[in-house]
Amino acid sequence: MRERLVVVGGDAAGMSAATQVRRRRPDLDVVALEKGSWTSYSACGIPYLVAGDVDSPEQLVARSPEQFRAEHRIDVRLRQEAVALDLDARTVEVRDHEHDRTYRLDFDQLMIGTGAHPVRPDLPGIGRPSVYGVQTLDDGAALLDRARRARCDDVVVVGGGYIGLEMAEAFHRRGARVTIVEGADRVMSRTVDADIAAHIHEAIRGLGIELRLGERVESFEDGWVHTSSGPLRADVAVLGLGVAPNGELAGAAGIALGPHGAVHVDRRQRTSAEGVYAAGDCADTWHRVARRPIHIALGTVANKTGRVAGINLAGGYATFPGVVGTAITKICSTELGRTGLTETEAAEAGYDAVVARIEVTTRAGYFPGTQPMIVKLLAEKGTGLVLGAQIVGGDGAAKRIDTVAAALTAGFDVTALVDLDLAYAPPFSSVWDPIQVAARQALGRI
């Protein structure tokens, strides 16, 4: 019998690994199990599907199972769920939801790319059909179907994580009355500092979305969400409380999990079990600035770690050095970018940080269409080491965060950031790039 790789999870991490393996090992038998109905899809596109910018779930699919079979000879099996792993016998127990049966599949090597799931606190009524989590394309398709099929005038988004905010905007654009209920005093409290979040609050409220901060959801019933302040009409409730890794399958087989319940991996995406790799949202990774393991659920990381796992699975040598914590989103017309550490995270990591905060414009001040933007830059006191940045502003603001992400990766101090030869012309920025204006302010404070 031919040597076999079994991939569990048919999206970004799993299929990146599978295609890398196929490229390097044409001889291998590659089987990919996916419990849902789609492979290689863009979950990131779900808010735009619900908003109506994208016509159908199919448009979010990069490669279908048929394409994987024909072009890569990867045996993709939909609606097949891996329910248990036997690492001694080297078998996967598979639940075939298509034919309502269970079978065992032998493997020589295993790739775990099971992703994550929306956090669902144990609240009365949370299992009701009107309460939706959003993670997979099946979730997105189900939500879209519900929005099209029945009354969807009032939507409550539970939690102000970035997925919740993107979904809130999507339903607002569909014409629903949307309320966001967030227990903390600000949205995205794990992502940005309070002063930056305040601009997101303005953007949300400016659009006509009701934002309730410091209010907790207590229970759900059909047509209503009950909060600490009383009942709210809700044809649909969407969970936006963040995601947790799907580490249970690996954990139950005795594979080591990290501090966040994600599969623990080394720099080559190897798990604690021989011949078993993991990548993407189900695995932990290394934060290069905080210098600790973290769980970060992003498509960027899933694709990169899946590729590294695939190269190693095929007998090559590749490493993933970790992340610096870069993320970007757009809420209404306000863009937000962040990288490295926030003020809170810097303090937690033991850094004494100085903070520079500047208010500038996205293009030359006189240029038509220029928009306000704020750059907040953190550097270590004494050494001047760049620690992180947050950017909020209009069109063209947020993607500038990549300059700071590169500086963090290279281990720059603020002087090196000031000295960078960055591009300038009036349609793009002021003559001093906004990042460098902030770096100069930080330099003065160090």
Ligand X SMILES: Cc1cc2nc3c(=O)[nH]c(=O)nc-3n(C[C@H](O)[C@H](O)[C@H](O)COP(=O)(O)OP(=O)(O)OC[C@H]3O[C@@H](n4cnc5c(N)ncnc54)[C@H](O)[C@@H]3O)c2cc1C
Q: Which residue numbers are catalytic? A: 44
Q: How far is the CB of 135 from ligand X (least distance, A)?
A: 5
In order of 173, 192, 374, the CA distances from 198 in angstroms are 22, 10, 12
| Candidate list 17, 22, 28, 36; residue touching ligand X; CB under 6 A | 36
| Candidate list 35, 199, 212, 264; residue touching ligand X; CB under 6 A | 35
Q: Is 8 in the site for ligand X (CB under 6 A)?
A: yes
Q: How far is the CB of 284 from ligand X (least distance, A)?
A: 12
Nearer to ligand X, 10 or 183 (CB): 10
| Candidate list 81, 235, 380, 413; residue touching ligand X; CB under 6 A | 81
Please name the residues in contact with 123: beta carbons below 8 A apart, sequence gap of 6 or more: 217, 218, 219, 220
Name the segment binding ligand X (CB under 6 A); options: 63-71, 181-189, 293-301, 340-348: 293-301
Q: Is 82 in the site for ligand X (CB under 6 A)?
A: yes
| Candidate list 67, 300, 371, 409; residue touching ligand X; CB under 6 A | 300
Nearer to ligand X, 92 or 181 (CB): 92
Give the number of C-alpha atoms closer than 13 A to the C-alpha of residue 353, restricted to the C-beta side.
25
Nearer to ligand X, 54 or 418 (CB): 54
Name the segment binding ligand X (CB under 6 A); options: 27-35, 63-71, 285-293, 367-375: 27-35
| Candidate list 5, 6, 9, 418; residue touching ligand X; CB under 6 A | 9
Nearer to ligand X, 336 or 408 (CB): 336
Name the segment binding ligand X (CB under 6 A); options: 36-44, 102-110, 373-381, 398-406: 36-44
| Candidate list 159, 280, 396, 434; residue touching ligand X; CB under 6 A | 280
Q: Give the interface with ligand X as residue ranges (CB under 6 A).
A: 8-14, 33-36, 43-44, 46-47, 81-82, 113-116, 134-136, 163, 166, 246, 249, 280-281, 297-300, 302
